[in-house]
Structure 1
Amino acid sequence: MTQWRKSRRSESQGDACVEVAALPHGVGVRDSKRPEGGHLVLGGAAFRALLDEMKR
């Protein structure tokens, strides 16, 4: 079973956050408000680039 989690930093942002999960072929990313809406799968390099961009 896939375990999704929210960033600790997103907790203070109310319900406007994403969840991530380790998947066999990358990192899953989904909207925490609509988990039934599906998810994106990013490779490791793409996920790191996303995190770097979000930090800026």
Structure 2
Amino acid sequence: MTETGVLAEPSHHPLRSRAGRVDVRHQVLDPLVVVGPWVLGGVVIYRGVRAVVRRARA
């Protein structure tokens, strides 16, 4: 996974630092690249735990 710098932006002038970038159209995807794997992992764990609990109750 590559470093996007999204977490460092709030403390380093977030709007000015993005103004001259080449990938302005793609900057909307930066938060998804950072947070997406964590959300996906959470959903997988939630569903796995729920399946185990349902099987244990049956």
TM-score with structure 1 setting the length: 0.30
Structure showing the higher helix proportion among its residues: 2
Structure showing the higher strand proportion among its residues: 1
TM-score with structure 2 setting the length: 0.29
Question: Larger Rg: 1 or 2?
Answer: 2
Q: Which structure has the higher relative contact order (CA within 8 Å, separation 6+)?
A: 2
